[in-house]
Amino acid sequence: MQRDVIAPLVIAALVALAPFAGQTDYFIHILVQILLWGFIYTAWSLMGRFGLVSLGHGAFMGIGAYVTVLLWNFFELTPWIGMPIAVAAAVALAAIVGWPCVRLRIVGHYFALVTLALTAVVALSIVGLRDITGGSLGLTPNREAAGTSIYAFQFASKTVFLYVALVLWLIGLFVWRAVDRGMGRYALQAISSDEDASASVGINVGVEKIRIILLSAGLTALGGAVFGQYQMYINPETVSGIGVSLQIVFAVVAGGMFVQLGPTVGAAFTLILAETLRILIGNEYHAADTTIYGLMLVLFIIFMPKGILGAVFAGLERAKAKAA
Amino acid sequence: MLKLEGVSAGYGDFQALFGASLDVQAGEAVAVIGPNGAGKTTLLRVISGIIPLREGHLSMEGRPLDRVPAHRIIETGIAHVPENRRLFPRLTVEENLKIGAYLPAARSRFAERLDFVYSLFPRMKERRNQLAGTMSGGEQQMCAIGRALMSGPKLLLMDEPSAGLAPVIVQQVFDLVRRIRSEGYTVLIVEQNIQQVLKVVDRAYLLEVGRIKLSGKSADLLASDEIRRAYIGL
């Protein structure tokens, strides 16, 4: 078996054992967060690694979370159906925005700006439709009486969510692997460096690009939907909006977007950093953690463009080359 | 094999080609020569479907190409070696060649064609794990030709293969073109280096400001006063 199968399975096995080791709820909570965000970051990197830098994933995540909760609250539609609908909605939006970008060859910074606008539009719509969405105050899924209900996708125990998040995370990594091993990776790498030359060897540039965009958007929406169910509270700031879009990019840049586990490392790194800063600094200096975040992002881009895991692998390669 | 009849094309308001007609027979090497801005690259881009045809007709072995999108041109047996190589610089030489065999039909014959390209250009075999962007210009040109050959084309379109290369390397590149010819490929080559290219091809067309002004056997063109005065400087 290959590294891209073994490593995820070994990590998954260790995480699966965590609840049996008598870990605290807080520890489990951190793990769930790392896995859910790790999944979303992995979904983002599916396209980000090919030069399709999207600042629109806050929109897709928000749609995933909001559509699921709204369908439940207003129509009592189980999230088991609501989540696929939410994913379909995000995919449809990605197609509406993505296809013109592909046709008109909006790439690079311009693509990032178009997707940034998408995030802003979705976040403002959520705030604006406050009668339905609760606006800036956010929204809580109607709670099933017992607190735990498979039908309502509500679980009082964090351990259940740990396993849900674990499965989701593994799905993300295996989608990554499938893309990485297929001809699609070559096609997308070729497209990211030269669209005309790619077309001339027979790559259908438009179809390849839109396919990875839709895949990435759909998985992100799924992550958002599960995240909303886990938190049992969503608001435009935490699951949508420009803040979320930027958070995704920062974490992925930190962890490394070109290697399979890079986005997960980014999730672990940023969450542990945020928690540490929060505990050390407390709430006294409100923006201190974000400031340090921003500073670190700049440092990462300058000194470690491949991210933590990317730099580690590059170092190992160099050591191996030296030894040989 | 390839036939263009009254082809016009351009970019936005700017028209680059005005009713250009030419044909290439199987087994021939044909050049389109002319100064900068004459529309030579545009001509190849129209054939490759990268920019749309505005007027006229375009066909390959009798099959019309007027509405065929860029990524399906290669299925008709036309492979484009674009201007300035346009390799995928962050991929290795072998990955570049692999992408050249992207079509399912070509993928199944990948190993065989790879051997062929390596036998034609042993240098590429030595460099197969090197990133394409780190090679010299001449080597990149080899790789670009190799990438085009991986699809098993009948007709090779070459856009300014000598552009941006040192004079010594230019000689090597024209040697490459001769090798490709002797392998039986039909070649349509666009060049500014008129004196050199006319020694390699059978026939040529002179393109000026988007119109075909002259055409004929390369020996005749080399001897013609107009070409000598205007382009070779004798």
The verdict on residue B167 lying in a domain is no
Name the residue with tokens 């800036």.
Answer: A136
Q: Are B73 and B176 contained in the same domain?
A: yes
Q: Are B91 and B46 contained in the same domain?
A: no
Q: Are B2 and B73 contained in the same domain?
A: yes
**Contacts with B88 from chain A: Cβ below 8 Å:** 189-190, 193-194, 197
Looking at residue B234, its pLDDT comes to 59
The verdict on residue A25 lying in a domain is yes
Looking at residue A41, its pLDDT comes to 97
Q: Are B70 and B183 contained in the same domain?
A: yes
What's the CATH number where B6 sits?
3.40.50.300
Per-residue pLDDT, averaged over B36-49, amounts to 91
Total structural domains within chain A: 1
Q: Compute the distance between CA of residue A322 and CA of residue B149 in angstroms, rounded to an integer.
A: 36
Among candidate residues A165, A182, A175, the one with its CA nearest the CA of residue A11: A165
**Contacts with B107 from chain A: Cβ below 8 Å:** 183
Total structural domains within chain B: 2
- Summary mean pLDDT of chain B: 91
Name the residue with tokens 């974000």.
Answer: A290
Looking at residue A290, its pLDDT comes to 73
The verdict on residue B115 lying in a domain is yes
The verdict on residue A210 lying in a domain is yes
Q: Is A145 on the interface with B (CB under 8 A)?
A: no
Q: Are B91 and B49 contained in the same domain?
A: no
DSSP codes, B113-142: HHHHHHHH-HHHHHTTTSBGGGS-HHHHHH
Per-residue pLDDT band at B47 (split at 50, 70, 90) = very high
Question: What is the per-residue pLDDT across A214-232, written as a single tens digit (0 to 9) for each?
Answer: 999 999 999 999 999 999 9
Q: Which residue in the set A190, A199, A205 is minimally distant from B88, CB to CB?
A: A190
Per-residue pLDDT, averaged over A190-201, amounts to 91
User: Is B55 in contact with B8 (CB distance < 8 Å)?
Assistant: yes
Looking at residue A130, its pLDDT comes to 92
CB contact under 8 A, B72 and A202: yes
DSSP-assigned letter for residue B231: I
Q: What percent of chain A has pLDDT over 90?
A: 66
Q: Which residue of A has its CA nearest to B70?
A: A199
User: Is B195 in contact with B49 (CB distance < 8 Å)?
Assistant: no
Q: Is A291 on the interface with B (CB under 8 A)?
A: no
Q: Is B105 on the interface with A (CB under 8 A)?
A: no
Q: Which residue in the set A183, A189, A203 is minimally distant from B71, CB to CB?
A: A203
**Contacts with B48 from chain A: Cβ below 8 Å:** 199-200
Q: Are B72 and B179 contained in the same domain?
A: yes
The verdict on residue A267 lying in a domain is no
Query: Judged by CB atoms within 8 Å, which residues 27-86 of B form the interface with A?
Result: 48-50, 69-75, 79-80, 82, 86
The verdict on residue A286 lying in a domain is no
**Contacts with A194 from chain B: Cβ below 8 Å:** 86, 88
Q: Which residue in the set A189, A190, A202 is minimally distant from B74, CB to CB?
A: A202
The verdict on residue B166 lying in a domain is no
Question: What is the per-residue pLDDT across B123-161, written as a single tens digit (0 to 9) for each?
Answer: 999 999 999 999 988 899 999 999 999 999 999 999 999
The verdict on residue A305 lying in a domain is no
Q: Which residue segment(s) compose the domain that B116 sits in?
A: 85-153
User: Is B18 in contact with B8 (CB distance < 8 Å)?
Assistant: yes
Per-residue pLDDT band at A1 (split at 50, 70, 90) = low
Looking at residue A23, its pLDDT comes to 79
Q: Which residue of B has its CA nearest to A191?
A: B88
The verdict on residue B96 lying in a domain is yes
Per-residue pLDDT, averaged over B8-34, amounts to 93
The verdict on residue A299 lying in a domain is no
Q: Are B33 and B138 contained in the same domain?
A: no
Q: Are B37 and B92 contained in the same domain?
A: no
Q: Which residue segment(s) compose the domain that A129 sits in?
A: 3-239
**Contacts with B80 from chain A: Cβ below 8 Å:** 200
Name the residue with tokens 């997960």.
Answer: A264
The verdict on residue A60 lying in a domain is yes
The verdict on residue A271 lying in a domain is no
Q: Are B93 and B198 contained in the same domain?
A: no
